[in-house]
């Protein structure tokens, strides 16, 4: 009890200046009103005492409030709360309670976001190492076998060298994809937007990939496009998008073929890459744009995929203020489309 009073008095020191000014003001006022100097001493004493008691009372209130706030802060520091609603202050501190709750939620979200980034980064590094290991081990294996004598065996030497080259190409494609992703993420990817004519551009992209379809005995066609139709975008980057989409369509189609369609709207042109391939399960459509995501890992790797293509496509189209739409039916085929400004 005495200790508490001592603490109250010591808190009251912070308001000493206000206390003295306030008391002096009241005493002056009373002196002026009463006009009787005999009573001044007694009146001053009463005013002084009342003021002193009120200041002690207020100090105690304030000390309790500060203790309450301090407790909440300590609890937050010790991760005592799971959710913001567990933070409760007395009613007169309700606006502070609201502010602390908002701060708590923000820092919780920030931490969650940072944890997620950390997780994504670790997963990314694990995926990259895993993907690099496959071709490097294969190349190593072929070269060592050749050095151990197979080089003089005409039945296998050329075949092994060809396989080693195949894996070198995979390695080089993977590195290119990684360079692209890192450029996109660091904001270093320079885009150069301009108008260009769609028909010759699309036809040449398709022409360059024809051999892939021929190798698989499927068709690859581009529907006729109106002459003079211009679209706005970065030609080089869009070529990457089309290459990825068309190569996917060819890779994941065994019979039938791939068709490129162009639909003209008032302000936009929609480019569609449609195939009659294996299709994508509905619940996985939203995931195929994630880095390294493949619906069927084994199958994808067998046809030379690392699962980076569509994530690059997504980023490039986002830079064009566009996005990829996907329609797909398992066993029937898929359609990837995106819009470009006219």
Ligand X SMILES: Nc1ncnc2c1ncn2[C@@H]1O[C@H](COP(=O)(O)OP(=O)(O)OP(=O)(O)O)[C@@H](O)[C@H]1O
Binding site for Mg ion (CB under 5 A): 248, 309
- The CB-of-156 to ligand X minimum distance in angstroms stands at 28
Residue partners of 194: CB distance under 8 A and separation at least 6: 232, 233, 234, 235
Piece of 23-31, 58-66, 112-120, 294-302 that binds ligand X (CB under 6 A): 294-302
Q: Which does 308 bind (CB under 5 to 8 A by kind): ligand X, Mg ion, none?
A: ligand X
> 3-state SS of 209-242?
HHHHHHHCCCEEEECCCCCCCEEEECHHHHHHHH
Task: State yes or no: residue 184 binds ligand X (CB under 6 A).
Answer: no
Q: Which does 306 bind (CB under 5 to 8 A by kind): ligand X, Mg ion, none?
A: ligand X
Phi, psi of 257 (to 5 degrees): 180, -170
Which of 291/339 has CB closer to ligand X?
A: 291
Distances (CA, A) of 252 to 152, 170, 241, 322: 38, 18, 17, 24
Residue partners of 316: CB distance under 8 A and separation at least 6: 184, 234, 237, 238, 240, 241
Which of 187/331 has CB closer to ligand X?
A: 331
Residue partners of 209: CB distance under 8 A and separation at least 6: 220, 243, 246, 247, 250
Whole-angstrom distance, CA of residue 28 vs CA of residue 44: 9
- The CB-of-326 to ligand X minimum distance in angstroms stands at 8
Which of 239/341 has CB closer to ligand X?
A: 239
- The CB-of-134 to ligand X minimum distance in angstroms stands at 13
Task: State yes or no: residue 248 binds ligand X (CB under 6 A).
Answer: yes
Q: Which does 294 bind (CB under 5 to 8 A by kind): Mg ion, ligand X, none?
A: ligand X
Which of 55/135 has CB closer to Mg ion?
A: 135
Which of 237/294 has CB closer to ligand X?
A: 294
Task: State yes or no: residue 275 binds ligand X (CB under 6 A).
Answer: yes
80-95 in b/e form (b: 16+ CB < 10 A) is eeeebeebebeeebee
Q: What 8-state DSSP symbol labels residue 261?
A: E
Q: How many residues bind ligand X (CB under 6 A)?
A: 24
Written as six digits, the tokens of 199 are 């028909």
Whole-angstrom distance, CA of residue 137 vs CA of residue 172: 15
- The CB-of-275 to ligand X minimum distance in angstroms stands at 5
Element (H, E) at 100: helix 94-147
Element (H, E) at 258: strand 257-264
- The CB-of-275 to Mg ion minimum distance in angstroms stands at 12
Task: State yes or no: residue 257 binds ligand X (CB under 6 A).
Answer: no
- The CB-of-222 to ligand X minimum distance in angstroms stands at 16
Q: Which does 257 bind (CB under 5 to 8 A by kind): ligand X, Mg ion, none?
A: none
- The CB-of-102 to ligand X minimum distance in angstroms stands at 39
Q: Looking at 47, 257, 309, 316, which residue binds ligand X (CB under 6 A)? A: 309
Q: Looking at 249, 262, 271, 324, which residue binds ligand X (CB under 6 A)? A: 249
Task: State yes or no: residue 87 binds ligand X (CB under 6 A).
Answer: no
Which of 59/334 has CB closer to ligand X?
A: 334
Phi, psi of 73 (to 5 degrees): -65, -40
- The CB-of-67 to ligand X minimum distance in angstroms stands at 57
Name the residue among 125, 69, 128 with its Cα closest to residue 99. Answer: 69
Residue ranges that bind ligand X, judged by CB under 6 A: 177, 244, 248-249, 252, 275, 277-280, 288, 293-296, 300, 305-311, 334
């Amino acid at each position: 009890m005495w200790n508490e009073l001592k603490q109250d008095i010591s808190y009251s020191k912070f308001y000493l200046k206000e206390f003295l000014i306030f008391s002096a003001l009241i005493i002056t006022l009373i002196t002026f009103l009463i006009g009787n100097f005999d009573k001044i001493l007694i009146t001053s004493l009463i005013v002084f005492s009342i003021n002193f008691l009120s200041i002690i009372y207020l100090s105690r209130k304030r000390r309790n409030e500060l203790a309450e706030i301090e407790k909440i802060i300590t609890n937050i520091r010790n991760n005592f709360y799971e959710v913001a609603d567990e933070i409760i202050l007395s009613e007169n501190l309700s606006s502070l309670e609201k502010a602390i709750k908002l701060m708590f939620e923000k820092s919780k979200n920030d931490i969650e976001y940072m944890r997620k980034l950390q997780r994504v980064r670790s997963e990314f590094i694990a995926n990259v190492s895993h993907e690099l290991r496959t071709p490097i081990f294969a190349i190593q294996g072929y070269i060592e076998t050749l050095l151990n004598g197979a080089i003089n065996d005409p039945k296998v030497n050329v075949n092994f060298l060809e396989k080693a080259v195949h894996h070198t190409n995979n390695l080089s494609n993977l590195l290119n994809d990684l360079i692209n992703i890192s450029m996109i993420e660091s904001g270093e990817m320079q885009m150069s937007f301009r108008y260009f004519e769609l028909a010759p551009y699309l036809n040449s992209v398709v022409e360059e990939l024809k051999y892939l379809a021929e190798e698989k005995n499927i068709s690859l066609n581009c529907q006729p496009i109106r002459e003079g139709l211009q679209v706005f975008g970065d030609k080089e980057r869009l070529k990457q998008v089309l290459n990825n989409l068309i190569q996917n369509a060819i890779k994941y189609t065994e019979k039938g073929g791939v068709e490129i369609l162009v639909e003209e709207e008032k302000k936009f042109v929609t480019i569609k890459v449609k195939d009659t391939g294996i299709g994508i399960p509905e619940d996985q459509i939203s995931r195929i744009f994630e880095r390294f995501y493949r619906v069927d890992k084994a199958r994808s790797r067998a046809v030379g995929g690392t699962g980076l293509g569509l994530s690059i496509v997504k980023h490039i189209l986002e830079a064009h203020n566009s996005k990829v739409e996907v329609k797909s039916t398992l066993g029937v085929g898929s359609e990837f489309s995106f819009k470009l400004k006219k």
